[in-house]
Amino acid sequence: MSTICTLSGRRTIIEYITSKKLKSILNDTLPVTDDHIMEHYGNLITPVCVLKPGEQEKTQANLLKIIRELMHHEASRDMTLAAVGGGVICDITSLAASLYMRGMQLVLVPTTLLAMVDASVGGKTGVDYRGYKNLLGTFYPAGRVLICPELLGTLSEREFKNGLAEVIKHALLSGSPLYDTVIRDQKKILSRDTECLEQLIHHSLQVKINIVEQDPEEQLGIRQLLNFGHTFGHALESSTGLIFSHGEAVAWGMAKALEAGVLIGLTDKAYARDTIALLKSYGYPVDHKVEERELFMKSLKHDKKRRKQIIPFILQKQLADTVLYPLNLQVVEKIL
Ligand SMILES: NC(=O)c1ccc[n+]([C@@H]2O[C@H](COP(=O)([O-])OP(=O)(O)OC[C@H]3O[C@@H](n4cnc5c(N)ncnc54)[C@H](O)[C@@H]3O)[C@@H](O)[C@H]2O)c1
């Protein structure tokens, strides 16, 4: 099975492969990965650079480390840099590929569910700088994305649920067939049935592809719809520290966006009730009550898009009916 995504004239071929095939493809590349991947899949990769795992490693220093390794291996533009890892490895390696000799061949092998359904397509690259996430980055879609669902077997429950929140978001944005799978195959999804995950990833990626192809460089407001749940979610993350994972915060944020929509008469009540119940059944903390209200409102007020007391939120009227809606902060306070 394969899919093509075309962004600003650059084609990305997305292929679904086994770990055996992955090993032979990686033999012809210069792979970058992290310690956790080496621990589990060191037999598949001969890396040119191994970074420590985690967001704190998404730095300018590590970007330059990859570039130094490329120089050390006398890499040329026609050689292929391969990112084998989660979103951190994919983002930093893609940035290195876009910069080295003004752009070299790039293959992404996303190994987390989040990276498979989100970070691997869309062309965004980046490193964090002086506390700002992805401050330095480029648009540089990979030529090839290799999805190997088998690799998800070693992912921690927390990381798996991180990606699943984005899958459910894609299901709510698009409706069928992804929505039907999320409702019908919950048991298989949570037990990480490889065949079921392959279908889930395929449909989820298709949703992201449809959106980014319409608005490749985020200039038309369409790509913003992918931020459903994120404005509430980011405020929860920054007001509570590390208590909630990103996925838990996004799922909570989607529930709050639905509640806010019901309060202003925009969102269908039955849809909001059923969707919040769905998120709960997947184990997300949708009932969480914000204790640090002041801190929460303060971080919302830092939103770059705020105008006086109004912030544009992504809300839903119904399944697959999503809008950008200017919400008064008083409405937000009522549902915390
Ligand atoms: N470019 C984009 O469009 C885009 C979209 C979404 C997120 N992102 C970026 O992605 C990053 C988050 O990505 P993430 O959630 O994948 O986190 P991550 O890359 O930090 O990976 C999470 C953890 O899982 C480990 N891991 C990865 N694959 C594994 C496997 N198969 N088995 C066992 N352990 C494994 C990693 O070593 C790491 O410790 C953020 O930096 C975010 O900005 C980018």
The predicted pLDDT at position 246 comes to 93
And the tokens for 273? 């009730």
For ligand 1, the distance from its centroid to the CA atom of residue 309, given in whole angstroms, is: 34
Which atom belonging to ligand 1 lies closest to the Cα atom of 128? 41
When pLDDT is averaged across residues 246-274 and rounded to a whole number, the result is 97
Which atom belonging to ligand 1 lies closest to the Cα atom of 55? 20
Which atom belonging to ligand 1 lies closest to the Cα atom of 126? 1
Query: What single-letter amino acid sits at 213?
Result: E
Q: Specify the higher pLDDT residue, 243 or 81.
A: 81
Give the confidence band of 202 by pLDDT, cuts at 50, 70, 90: very high
Nearest CA to ligand 1 atom 20: 54
Beta bridge partners of 2: 15
Instruction: Say which residue the tokens 């639905």 belong to.
Output: 258
For ligand 1, the distance from its centroid to the CA atom of residue 173, given in whole angstroms, is: 22
Lowest mean pLDDT across 94-103, 105-114, 225-234, 325-334 = 325-334
CA separation for the pair 123, 176 (Å, rounded): 26
Give the confidence band of 9 by pLDDT, cuts at 50, 70, 90: confident
Of the chain, the percentage scoring pLDDT greater than 90 comes to: 88
Nearest CA to ligand 1 atom 5: 119
- What's this model's pTM, rounded to 2 decimal places? 0.95
- Residue to mutate, 112, 127, 211, ligand 1, most ligand atoms under 8 Å from C-beta: 112
The predicted pLDDT at position 241 comes to 83
For ligand 1, the distance from its centroid to the CA atom of residue 157, given in whole angstroms, is: 13
Q: Confirm if 32 and 84 have CB atoms less than 8 A apart.
A: yes
When pLDDT is averaged across residues 282-301 and rounded to a whole number, the result is 92
Nearest CA to ligand 1 atom 22: 86
* Domains of the chain, residue spans: 2-156, 228-334
Give the confidence band of 17 by pLDDT, cuts at 50, 70, 90: very high
Dihedral of alpha carbons 129, 132, 136, 137, sign: positive
3 state SS for the chain = CEEEEEECCEEEEEEECCHHHHHHHHCCCEEEEEHHHHHHHCCCCCCCEEECCCHHHCCHHHHHHHHHHHHHCCCCCCCEEEEEECHHHHHHHHHHHHHHHHCCEEEEEECCHHHHHHHCCCCECCEEECCEEEEECCECCCCEEEECHHHHHHCCHHHHHHHHHHHHHHHHHHCCCHHHHHHHCHHHHHCCCHHHHHHHHHHHHHHHHHHHHHCCCCCCCCHHHHHCCHHHHHHHHHHHCCCCCHHHHHHHHHHHHHHHHHHCCCCCHHHHHHHHHHHHHCCCCCCCCCCCHHHHHHHHHCCCCCECCEEEEEEEEECCEEEEEEEEHHHHHHCC
CA separation for the pair 167, 183 (Å, rounded): 12
228-334: which CATH architecture?
Answer: Up-down Bundle (1.20)
How many other C-beta atoms are found inside a 10 Å radius of the C-beta of residue 21? Answer: 13
Burial of 28 (0-12, 13-18, 19+ CB in 10 A): exposed
Question: What is the pLDDT of the chain when averaged over all its residues?
Answer: 95
For ligand 1, the distance from its centroid to the CA atom of residue 104, given in whole angstroms, is: 22
- Residue to mutate, 12, 38, 114, 146, ligand 1, most ligand atoms under 8 Å from C-beta: 114
The predicted pLDDT at position 300 comes to 87
CA separation for the pair 253, 157 (Å, rounded): 20
The fold adopted by the segment(s) 2-156 is: Rossmann fold (3.40.50)
- For residue 206, pLDDT beyond 90: yes
For ligand 1, the distance from its centroid to the CA atom of residue 299, given in whole angstroms, is: 24
Instruction: Give residue ranges with CB within 6 A of ligand 1.
Output: 34, 36-37, 40, 53-55, 58, 85-89, 91, 111-112, 114-115, 118-119, 122, 124, 133-134, 151, 154-155, 159, 162
CA separation for the pair 51, 32 (Å, rounded): 8
